[in-house]
Amino acid sequence: MNSKDIRTQFLTFFEGKKHKIVPSAPMVIKDDPTLLFTNAGMNQFKEFFLGINEPKNTRVVDTQKCLRVSGKHNDLEEVGKDTYHHTMFEMLGNWSFGDYFKEEAITWAWELLTEVFKMDKDSLYVSVFEGSQDDDRLEKDAEAYAIWNKIVPANRIIMGNKRDNFWEMGDQGPCGPCSEIHVDLRSDEEKKKVSGASLVNKDHPLVVEIWNLVFMQYNRKADGSLEPLPAKHVDTGMGFERLCMALQGKKSNYDTDVFTPLIREIEIITDAKYGRDEPTDIAIRVIADHIRAVSFSIADGQLPSNTGAGYVIRRILRRAVRYGFTFLGTKEHFMYRLVNVLTQSMGEAFPELSEQKQLIENVIKEEEHSFLKTLDQGLVLLDTIIEKTKGKTVDGRKAFELYDTYGFPIDLTALILSERGFSLDEDGFNVAMQEQKTRSKTASETSKGDWENLQSDAEQEFVGYDRLEADVKIVKYRKLESKKQGLQYQIVFNLTPFYAEGGGQVGDKGYLESPDGDVVYIVDTKRENNEIVHFAKNLPKKLEGTFKAVVDSKQRQRTEANHTATHLLHQALREILGTHVEQKGSAVHSKYLRFDFSHFSKMTKEELEAVESFVNARITGQLPLEEQRNVPIKEALENGAMALFGEKYGDAVRTIRFGKSIELCGGTHVKNTSDIWHFKIKSEGAVAAGIRRIEAITSDAVKDFYAESNKSLTEITEALGNPQDAVKAVKSLQDENSDLRKQIAALLKDKAKNLKGDLQSELQEKNGVRYLIKKLDLDAAGIKDLSFEMGQNQSDLFLLFATEQDGKALLSCYISKELVASKNLNAGTIVRELGKYIQGGGGGQPFFATAGGKNPAGIPDAMEKALEYLG
Ligand code: ATP
Ligand code: MG
């Protein structure tokens, strides 16, 4: 069965059991401060498990794009070395939100594997939680055991410990025992020798876990204690690639049709052969795996960058490039050439890939290119480190610097060192690494208290589209403590006019006022598990009763102007540049807006002007906001609403419309475009290959901007002596300046000529060499001209000139070609050695070389030393 059919069969099997098929959530998570990437199918359903929101369907099935490269689940270092862990993989899952529990979850899983997929029952093992004395006296999962024991013999049920068979969402929150299903893919002969049961959970590549059935029945509190959940849930996750391996009779995920097209393409591009030797195989697996992770992330809108999620992606791509570089001999970018094959095999199930293929290729190509440059520079730096190393062990801190500042991979450093007969002080490296980790960890660590509930957790209402003030009650609050922010409180109201950060728009600020005038400032508003959470530095003195919640209207109005302008800008770009323009990120603040979009060249001045006019025409056109709430997503899309890649949309959405274009958007907007007053682009530039960024301002900020520019212009005019036309005055100053430069250059040349005559007479002689060592008042070009002119038609000349300019020293050495050979002199070596005296370095050719340095005081010493070269 091919992988496409396997995926479909899984989904339709559970559809037949009344599950609703839902799409994968984006792999890149944009609005959860605790998680950068989806690492399990359950992430997108967290709010249902926490009881914050009610699901529409209590039974759901899906395949979820997951990435396990950071945080709690980090498989990165395993990937490629083994044959069954990936960075990015698909997790097939069926879900019960307070609906069915262990009985159905277990029997259906067994039915699917053995009856639909016809897996051999004798190759399967299952595990059940054995209980834990240390942890709140957790009991063994007797219920699951009894259900399993009806369908599998006892010798195939393995009792598992807390590490393998108890699942927790984090330090706090829903948790419960789980049952895993393992498959033994070894030959019959092997099976006879060693029992499969003894290999379960022992990292054997052919006895692997394929499915995990989690039964959520407890809630873990901040103090570590457990309480039963009011509604129990099922969360299952099956590795799609591992399932394909088992069903296609393969011994490695990479031998399934999920990976073979990629591997074949890598073989063609690199001329390597898969299956010949282990290092090559690992490299090929790393590349086949990583191209998926990187491409899917870019499709979800996450570009490689220097921080956060972007940095993780950059590191994955670099890991692949480095494996290619070291083991397959790829010296040029090549990864981007795999995107085509990837799109062919996965583009149907995940259309975001095919639709953005070109962008993905461009971004990867550019990123590879710049990393290969880094590698080149790193190799040069590593040379210098080796040169300076006394003994045979290279300082670990130096290697760390190379890794940390220049992104030069440590294993490559180690490899090169061993090739050159050096070793790396690994302890020193690890210490430096640990120190840095501790530094960044303590800076970002937050500790959270338990939620204190004042009222039952009824569903919260957002009223901020219509009002900036509301009477609210506090539902719950908790304490947060972090080095960075200090002590803070998170407060949840029953209803709120505060907009929570999201869709690029910043969270509202404002205040909370009690009936007796006690005021608490709200410094930020964010969404956590789909709940609007307000941040404050302190709590109201009395927590009960009704409060007035008031949003800072000035900030909100400015932010709204920028948000609506962002939509108009998006329309303008698609109209003027073309429909290849896709939004790739936006930041809507009160002071400015930033918009990233796909487009392949720098925008011209005319295009920028056209975009500004387009937006400003719609502002003066006074377009009213037409808003529709709770529209079924299907209907919205049919009406032509524009959805964004990598965004997660619910079943019911909000659409907004100014003029022709309809967009899906949860943000807040002006009621009429005339409220924006004016739109002005401040900059346009590149963020990555094929991605441009526009920064712009609106309303008051434009007024301030013009006032500021006007002030500068007045100052410039005054400085110029108040001419009629300031631009003309600056132009004529520039012309004058360039004339003067030319004159100076001509004068210097003359000076050098005259000097030549004078200096000829100063030449001295030593050991058959006519020489001159002298400090001159000329610039570098002048000294060079002078040296070559003096040297013309001479065969026995040695010139060493020094000069001092702007606090810097320059040495220049000229040697007649004949002397280079006969006296074994080398100007390059000489300036490099003399460079020490002026704290600098340089080089050049044997007959002419220069060195620059920052210590002019060393010139006399350098000159004295120079004479020694003449014997
Ligand atoms: P393992 O012990 O093999 O790393 P796990 O316990 O981390 O697995 P779960 O977190 O229970 O796995 O995830 C559910 C399923 O997802 C697993 O049964 C497995 O089939 C699959 N899976 C987990 N991690 C990976 C990965 N890195 N690559 C591919 N599939 C994976
Ligand atoms: Mg794991």
* 70-85 confidence digits (pLDDT tens): 877 888 888 999 999 9
Spatial contact of 293 and 67, defined as CB atoms under 8 Å apart: yes
Q: Is the dihedral of CA 425, 427, 432, 436 positive or negative?
A: positive
> Average pLDDT, whole number, for the chain?
92
Q: Which atom of ligand 1 lies at the shortest distance from residue 86's CA?
A: 28
On whether residue 61 sits in a domain, the answer given is yes
Ligand nearest to the CA of 65: 1
On whether both 169 and 93 belong to a single domain, the answer is yes
What confidence tens digit (pLDDT) does each residue in 422-441 have? 999 999 999 999 988 888 77
How far apart are alpha carbons 760 and 802 in whole angstroms? Answer: 17
On whether both 104 and 229 belong to a single domain, the answer is yes
State which of 242, 243, 292 you would mutate to test the pocket of ligand 1, scoring each by most atoms of that ligand within 8 A of its C-beta.
Answer: 242
Spatial contact of 309 and 37, defined as CB atoms under 8 Å apart: yes
Ligand nearest to the CA of 165: 1
Q: Which atom of ligand 1 lies at the shortest distance from residue 164's CA?
A: 6
Ligand nearest to the CA of 201: 1
Ligand nearest to the CA of 76: 1
Give the number of domains in the chain: 6
- Bridge partner list, 474: 493
On whether both 125 and 235 belong to a single domain, the answer is yes
Q: Is position 665 annotated in a ligand binding site?
A: yes
- What proportions of the chain, in percent to the nearest 5, are helix, strand and coil? 45, 25, 30
Q: Is 468 helix (H, G, I), strand (E, B) or coil?
A: coil
How far apart are alpha carbons 394 and 502 in whole angstroms? Answer: 48
What confidence tens digit (pLDDT) does each residue in 742-759 have? 999 888 778 877 888 889
Q: Is position 563 annotated in a ligand binding site?
A: yes
State which of 85, 92, 289 you would mutate to test the pocket of ligand 1, scoring each by most atoms of that ligand within 8 A of its C-beta.
Answer: 85
How far apart are the CA of 156 and the centre of ligand 2, in A?
Answer: 22
Q: What is the pTM of this model?
A: 0.77
On whether residue 628 sits in a domain, the answer given is yes
Question: In this structure, which residue's CA is closest to atom 7 in ligand 1?
Answer: 73
- Bridge partner list, 764: 771
Q: What is the CATH number of the domain that holds 29?
A: 3.30.930.10
On whether residue 68 sits in a domain, the answer given is yes
Q: Is position 567 annotated in a ligand binding site?
A: yes
On whether both 224 and 94 belong to a single domain, the answer is yes
For residue 33, pLDDT beyond 80: no
Position 458 scores a pLDDT of: 72
Q: What is the CATH number of the domain that holds 532?
A: 2.40.30.130
How far apart are alpha carbons 376 and 332 in whole angstroms? Answer: 12
Q: Is 520 helix (H, G, I), strand (E, B) or coil?
A: strand
Mean pLDDT for 3-25 is 96
* Closest listed residue to residue 589, CA positions, set 638, 524, 648, 665: 524
On whether both 590 and 614 belong to a single domain, the answer is yes
On whether both 439 and 454 belong to a single domain, the answer is no
How far apart are alpha carbons 565 and 579 in whole angstroms? Answer: 18
What confidence tens digit (pLDDT) does each residue in 695-735 have? 999 999 999 999 999 999 999 999 999 999 999 999 999 99
* Closest listed residue to residue 316, CA positions, set 254, 265, 367, 262: 367
How far apart are alpha carbons 434 and 193 in whole angstroms? Answer: 44
Q: Which residues contact 416 (CB under 8 A, 6 or more apart)?
A: 379, 382
Q: Which atom of ligand 1 lies at the shortest distance from residue 73's CA?
A: 7
Tokens encoding 156 = 């195939």
Position 271 scores a pLDDT of: 95
On whether residue 309 sits in a domain, the answer given is yes
Q: Which residues contact 411 (CB under 8 A, 6 or more apart)?
A: 322
How far apart are alpha carbons 308 and 28 in whole angstroms? Answer: 11
Question: In this structure, which residue's CA is closest to atom 21 in ligand 1?
Answer: 239
Could you tell me the residue range of the domain that residue 357 belongs to?
259-371
Question: In this structure, which residue's CA is closest to atom 16 in ligand 1?
Answer: 239
What confidence tens digit (pLDDT) does each residue in 510-543 have? 999 999 899 999 999 999 888 999 999 999 999 9
For residue 459, pLDDT beyond 90: no
pLDDT-above-90 percentage for the chain: 74
β-pairing, 797-805 vs 769-775, is: parallel
On whether both 280 and 200 belong to a single domain, the answer is no
On whether residue 171 sits in a domain, the answer given is yes
Q: Is 494 helix (H, G, I), strand (E, B) or coil?
A: coil
The angle at the Cα of 204, spanning 201 to 207, to the nearest 5 degrees, equals 75
What confidence tens digit (pLDDT) does each residue in 545-559 have? 999 999 999 999 999
Tokens encoding 612 = 């500004």
What is the CB < 6 Å shell around ligand 1?
A: 40, 68, 75, 85-86, 89, 91, 209-212, 237-239, 241-242
695 HSE (CA, 13 A, CB side): 10
How far apart are the CA of 79 and the centre of ligand 1, in A?
Answer: 12
On whether residue 737 sits in a domain, the answer given is no
For residue 443, pLDDT beyond 70: no
For residue 442, pLDDT beyond 80: no
On whether both 393 and 510 belong to a single domain, the answer is no
Alpha helices in 257-356 (DSSP H): 260-270, 278-299, 308-323, 339-346, 351-355
Which of 551, 573, 599 terminates a domain? The answer is 551
Output phi, psi for 550, to 5 deg.
-125, 125
The angle at the Cα of 723, spanning 717 to 728, to the nearest 5 degrees, equals 90
Q: Which residues contact 390 (CB under 8 A, 6 or more apart)?
A: none
For residue 111, pLDDT beyond 90: yes
- Helices 278-299 + 339-346 axis angle, to 10: 70
Which of 688, 704, 720 terminates a domain? The answer is 704
How far apart are alpha carbons 441 and 513 in whole angstroms? Answer: 36
Question: In this structure, which residue's CA is closest to atom 27 in ligand 1?
Answer: 85
Q: Is 802 helix (H, G, I), strand (E, B) or coil?
A: strand
Count of positions (residues) in the chain:
871
Position 574 scores a pLDDT of: 95
What confidence tens digit (pLDDT) does each residue in 781-801 have? 889 988 998 998 889 999 999
On whether residue 278 sits in a domain, the answer given is yes
Residue 457 confidence class, pLDDT cut points 50, 70, 90: low
